[in-house]
Amino acid sequence: MTSATPSPKSPEVSEKSKKYDRQLRLWGDHGQYKLESSHVCLINANATGTEILKSLVLPGCGRFTIIDSKEVTEEDVGNNFFLELSHVGQNRGECAKTLLCEMNLDVSGEAVIDDLEEHLSVHKNSKFFDRFSVVIASELSDKTLKLLSRTLWEKPGKSIPLIYCHCIGFIGWIRVQLKEHTVIESHPDSVIDDLRLDRPFPEMVEYFDSISLSSREDIVKTPWLIVFHRILEQYVKSHLLREDSMNCVNKENPHHLNTQQKRAFKEYLEKELRTMGLHEGDDVFAESMKAVNTALTPTTIPWQVQEILNDKKVTDPENSQFWIMCAALKAFISENNGLLPVRGVLPDMTAESAKYIGLQNVYRDKAKRDAEDVYNRCQSIMEESGNSPITLKPEDVRLFCKESCNLKLIRGQPIFEELETCPSSIVNEIAQNQESPNPDCMFYVMMRAALRYYSEFNFYPGASDPEQDITEFKACVSRLLAEWNCNVNGNADYIQEICRYGGSEIPSVAAFVGGCVAQEAIKIITGQYTPLNNTLIYNAVDCSTTSFNLPTD
Amino acid sequence: MEFEITAGVGGRILRLVMEVEGAQGTGTLDSGEFCSRDSNSNSKRWNHMRKILERPSPFTYHTFNPSYEYLTALQEYVRVLVVGAGGLGCELLKNLVLLGFRNVDIIDMDTIDISNLNRQFLFRPDDVGKSKAHCAAAFVNKRVEGANVIAHHCKIQDKDVDFYKQFHVVVCGLDSITARKWLNSLIVTLDVSEEDEKIPFVDGGTEGFKGNVRVIRTPETPCVECNLDLYPPQINFPMCTLASTPRLPEHCIEYVRLLLWEREKPFGETPIDGDCPQHISWIYEKAQERAAQFRIDGITYRLTQGVVKNIIPAVASTNAVIAAACSTEVLKLVTGCSRFMDNFMLFNDLDGIYTFTYSAERKKNCLACDRGEARQLFFSKNVTVQEVYNYLVESKDIQMKSPGIQGYNKEGVLKNLYMKNITTEENLKKSLHVDFEIPDGGEIQVADPTFAVAVSFKITYE
Amino acid sequence: MKQQKKDGEAVTTSTSSQKKSSPAQLRIMKDLNELNLPKTCSTDFPDPDDLLNFKLVISPDEGFYRNGRFVFNFRVGANYPHEPPKVKCETQVYHPNIDLEGNVCLNILREDWKPVLTINSIVYGLQYLFLEPNPEDPLNKEAADVLQSNRRLFETNVSKAMRGGYVGSVYFERCLK
């Protein structure tokens, strides 16, 4: 958590910090600030739509606008917690807005009654959508979705993120459209510690060598990393770098051990530790032995980060903070033996306080110097490009450097393209098992067919008479599959199931999809955590989900 | 028409015994027919659910027989218990009444705190300090016409077996592993049918952007206790680290909480109250002093509070997702309108959206759901009571909190080996075999707050 | 701890001749293990292996009975928790709800007992009796009458009894801490 401001005495905790405490621990005050500055647009306040807004209003998004021209029906009241029977006949967006806003007085909401299609045609070249951080839509027709997707994707200047979602019966469909999205704080579940045993920097070696390991007394008070390093260096010298060594050595990187060498080193390590008078009961012993698998991982640049550094935007960062920092990072790497800045974060190691803190400071100081270097490079890039409107603070660059091994970039694919071409990721997967295809792939096909069916008939298959609609729906599915050159045999059950649903929105399915979509919106707004790229099918029959990247992987 | 609770192959499925003409589902109900069955002017309200409940499908549980009567049963007959009125509980309540359930009971001993408001959407700032169960019930009853939510503002342990037996399904959204284990141990042993079937039980849990859902249908599926190793035990720092070699800001905070508070008694005999700003401030300042002494940085007020209260991050969206999946399973368990989740789902949306659903397996000699032989524990012949105690607390698949231990000696006399405040601390150093004469193959009984009843183990020396 | 193998894997060999605990024993064990005594109370187990018979000592720190020390004897029967334990006060006390034989009038020890209640519930009930003696439902009618008509006199009588002495014609043993 990088957020809280240090203060000598106990700080006053604001009501807001208390209210949002449990989420501030996830995305910090800076993430919260972005959320509170955001403006979300929801198209259609159906059950899924209001569930999404619920999970955005509660954590305190700044404002929201609902676009909905429909009147509240009794069916709406049945599956939507933010509508009441007394609302029947009134505008749905307006009614939902009032009950949603009740939950959090920090959030302001508005409802726009106009028809969306008019908006899209009238405002096509206007700035209507510009104010939104993200647009979320549910239950659109094929045609409208295409139009909306294209309008937001092709916005001159900056494209606006779009999330489309749709629930029919036990099936939910989420589609995220992001033209370009970058993440600095991706908060991965687990990170490999940046220890640099294979690529030590001079200050590190100096400190490591200054620590005396002559007595058992000394050693048990020393962090395992220092003891481990000492033994590793001995091993490399005595076993790997010897001319007559049978162990074929990577002379460039003698520390990069293969599995066999690792096993041999582990034996050597244990022997040496015992020679030092240590045994299983000593923390240093146990922690060193446990570290063999992870501590020997070569220091490299993850491929996702490499891909970002090779992106065309690095050479032409325009006015983007992120890309300017990437350009600086690339320059730093090329002049620093191909290494990322030191992260400066160490795991806890059982040891005497002073020795551990001293070790930690060696890494931290190096991280600080690396970040300063990158910061200076950022400054010169901005100076070169003339009067850049961007301002970069040193702490921004420090965070960027600290997270440089976890950077994420999404260059997505537009929905309108998916709706116009063959979704080959799905089709290929179905082709692999035509007799009993993956249910989640089949449900994707069904959702697409239902959307098309709706465009043709203006109601969903089975809306009133499933048996009558089943023939037409079957034909619709066949036409779609034929367009994609996709052969599949076992689809009768899926067709029947979709006709059973009759376009109904089950409240608990809407709630699942609503929660997911809200979280994707929060990721997009805060720029933290990695959004879905780009399709999710939720299958509540089996309680499973599958993600796809469409139309092509 | 009658309702009957029958023990189906997998759980207590509500089966309908049709006596009314034409009540059999036909699968062809047009919207006209939807309305004509019910003179109630709100009948269209339930059209979404009626499509699901009145039409056949290839994916249902085998007892499902499409009919209008399912909705009537949900409304008139079925009783659901929601355990916990927190982040999951609020969501569960909303989902269940929208799915057509009317008679829902909710139990929670907690009162509302300001930090609940970012996700527990049935509560408002004015409700702070009031009962969660009562506020949640009142809100839903007001918002959704026909809802009959009954609140119980008490501990789950305050209700007896007869209370729990009234429900057709129990759904649980608790944040405490102790309470979850206790409830599980009760539900999976309640006899409610001639067969060996128990009340079906759905359990949800969340932590930040992660969550899990499980469907428990004893004896078909494993219970919470069977897969206890999936719930990581709380990590405690070693005392010697706190006392002499702190390295992390957390070590400094724990030092103040566990050692300095007792020594300095800043507020007399008052124990630490994590919600009292004066207490947290004192700990924060003392932790800062200690950190400065060891040149450790990173102590913040937020971190202090997090460590002292063992705060688990929470956000509205994850609660919504997990409670939604739980609610769908409750609907399925009661009606059979779709096959059940089998039987464990993990959810995580840190990187994209990821779920993993799999069929977890029952554990032989499970301490809660297997009534066969007592589980065996293996110890060396000179094992002490303390070592047995530690094993019961530290073992990943037992995770007790404060066990009391009795055992039969070789004469068959019941000896009290250890019980806090009753036996002396001296007992802990004594040997099971020599001092208490517990024979090889002998039985010990253990009482613990994580179990509704005492549990037996068989001791084997090796 | 290395000596422990994974449990649950070995086939358990049945020795069903083993003596089994009664439901009452199992239940009282659970109650006592989770006993959470207020700081004015303590328990005493003459035989720590026998959880069915024990004593509870209450030393109120406020109210009429402040500084007194009262001993209750608990006998838990075989039908516990379907029947409440038998509780007798072993200290002679001038109290409207406790008679001179030591019988205690507390609703949850009789008509309002439920199996979901625990020893802890009784402890809190008894503690409450000393804070708020209840003249409505008396076992010692004389004391109840005094409490209702003259609280001052009641207070004096209680102190007299606790110091050891006569209240009316009845002699009370000293029971101050």
pLDDT at A203: 96
Please check whether residue A170 is in contact with residue A506, taking contact to mean a CB–CB distance below 8 angstroms.
Answer: yes
Question: Is residue A520 over pLDDT 70?
Answer: yes
Domain with CATH 3.40.50.720 in chain A: 16-179+507-548
For residue A480, the distance in angstroms to the closest alpha carbon of chain B comes to: 23
Best mutation target, B185, B411, B419, to test chain C (most C CBs within 10 A): B419
pLDDT at A247: 57
Please check whether residue A240 is in contact with residue A249, taking contact to mean a CB–CB distance below 8 angstroms.
Answer: yes
Summarize pLDDT for A232-258 with one digit per residue, the tens: 999 988 877 665 555 555 666 778 888
pLDDT at A251: 66
B387 and C1 in contact by Cβ < 8 A?
Answer: yes
For residues B14 and A340, the model is more confident at: A340
Say if strands B2-8 and A408-410 run parallel, antiparallel, or are unpaired.
Answer: unpaired
C17 to chain B, any CB pair closer than 8 A? The answer is no
pLDDT at C19: 61
What burial class does residue B196 get, using C-beta atoms within 10 Å of its C-beta: 0-12 exposed, 13-18 middle, 19+ buried?
A: exposed
pLDDT at A9: 63
Question: What integer best gives the mean pLDDT of chain B?
Answer: 89
C33 and B403 in contact by Cβ < 8 A?
Answer: yes
Compare CB distances from B350 to A501, A522, A529 and report the shortest one's residue. Answer: A529
Average pLDDT estimate for B238-266: 95
pLDDT at B25: 40
Summarize pLDDT for A391-430 with one digit per residue, the tens: 899 999 999 999 999 999 999 999 999 999 999 989 999 9
Compare CB distances from B453 to C12, C30, C48 and report the shortest one's residue. Answer: C30
C16 to chain B, any CB pair closer than 8 A? The answer is no
Average pLDDT estimate for A454-476: 93
Summarize pLDDT for B85-125 with one digit per residue, the tens: 999 999 999 999 999 999 999 999 999 999 999 999 999 99
Question: Is residue B298 over pLDDT 60?
Answer: yes
Question: Is residue A508 over pLDDT 50?
Answer: yes
A487: which 2 tokens? 């052969």
Summarize pLDDT for A49-95 with one digit per residue, the tens: 999 999 999 999 999 999 999 999 999 999 999 999 999 999 999 99
Summarize pLDDT for C76-133 with one digit per residue, the tens: 999 999 999 999 999 999 999 999 999 999 999 988 898 889 999 999 999 999 999 9
Average pLDDT estimate for B360-373: 89
Interface predicted TM-score of the whole assembly (ipTM), two decimals: 0.95
pLDDT at B17: 47
Least confident of A91-100, A435-444, B32-41, C3-12: C3-12
pLDDT at A111: 96
For residues C20 and A144, the model is more confident at: A144
pLDDT at B29: 40
pLDDT at A384: 86
What Å distances lie between residue C28 and A222, A293, C33, CA to CA?
Answer: 51, 51, 8
What burial class does residue B342 get, using C-beta atoms within 10 Å of its C-beta: 0-12 exposed, 13-18 middle, 19+ buried?
A: middle
Count of alpha carbons within 13 angstroms of residue C137, beta-carbon side: 8
pLDDT at A293: 86
Residue identified by tokens 């009795």 is B406
What burial class does residue C141 get, using C-beta atoms within 10 Å of its C-beta: 0-12 exposed, 13-18 middle, 19+ buried?
A: exposed
Cβ neighbours of B99 in A, within 8 Å: 506-508
Give the percent of chain C with pLDDT over 90.
71
Interface list for A 77-116 with B (CB within 8 A): 77-81, 84-85, 102-105
Q: Which positions of B are catalytic?
A: 240
Query: Which chains share 3+ C-beta pairs under 8 angstroms with C?
Result: B
Question: Is residue B26 over pLDDT 70?
Answer: no
Q: How many whole angstroms separate alpha carbon A395 and alpha carbon A402?
A: 10
Question: Is residue A6 over pLDDT 70?
Answer: no
B142 to chain C, any CB pair closer than 8 A? The answer is no
Compare CB distances from B99 to A3, A174, A507 and report the shortest one's residue. Answer: A507
CA angle C130, C136, C138 (to 5 degrees): 70
For residue B124, the distance in angstroms to the closest alpha carbon of chain A comes to: 7
DSSP state of C85: P
Task: Tell which CATH architecture fits domain A16-179+507-548.
Answer: 3-Layer(aba) Sandwich (3.40)
Domains of chain B are: 75-232+315-358 (3.40.50.720), 239-309 (1.10.10.520), 375-461 (3.10.290.20)
Summarize pLDDT for A10-58 with one digit per residue, the tens: 677 889 999 999 999 999 999 999 999 999 999 999 999 999 999 999 9
Compare CB distances from A500 to B55, B331, B348 and report the shortest one's residue. Answer: B55
Summarize pLDDT for B392-421 with one digit per residue, the tens: 999 988 999 999 999 999 988 889 999 988
Give a three-class secondary structure readout of chain B.
Answer: CEEEEEEECCEEEEEEECCCCCCCCCCCCCHHHHHHCCCCCCHHHHHHHHHHHHCCCCCCCCCCCCCCHHHHHHHHCCEEEEECCCHHHHHHHHHHHHHCCCEEEEECCCECCHHHCCCCCCCCHHHCCCEHHHHHHHHHHHHCCCCEEEEECCCHHHCCHHHHHCCCEEEEECCCHHHHHHHHHHHCCCCCCCCCCCCCEEEEEEECCEEEEEEECCCCCCCHHHHHHHCCCCCCCCHHHHHHCCCCHHHHHHHHHHHHHHHHCCCCCCCCCCCCHHHHHHHHHHHHHHHHHCCCCCCCHHHHHHHHHCCCCCCHHHHHHHHHHHHHHHHHHHHCCCCCCCCEEEEECCECCEEEEECCCCCCCCCCCCCCCCEEEEECCCCEHHHHHHHHHHCCCCCCCCCEEEEECCCCCEEEEECCCCCCHHHHHCECCCCCCCCCCCEEEEECCCCCCCEEEEEEEC
Q: Which residue of C has its CA nearest to B380?
A: C3
In sequence order, the 6+-apart residues with CB closer than 8 A to the CB of A386 are none
B55 and A466 in contact by Cβ < 8 A?
Answer: yes
Summarize pLDDT for C127-155 with one digit per residue, the tens: 999 999 988 878 999 999 999 999 999 99
* Predicted TM-score of the model (pTM): 0.91
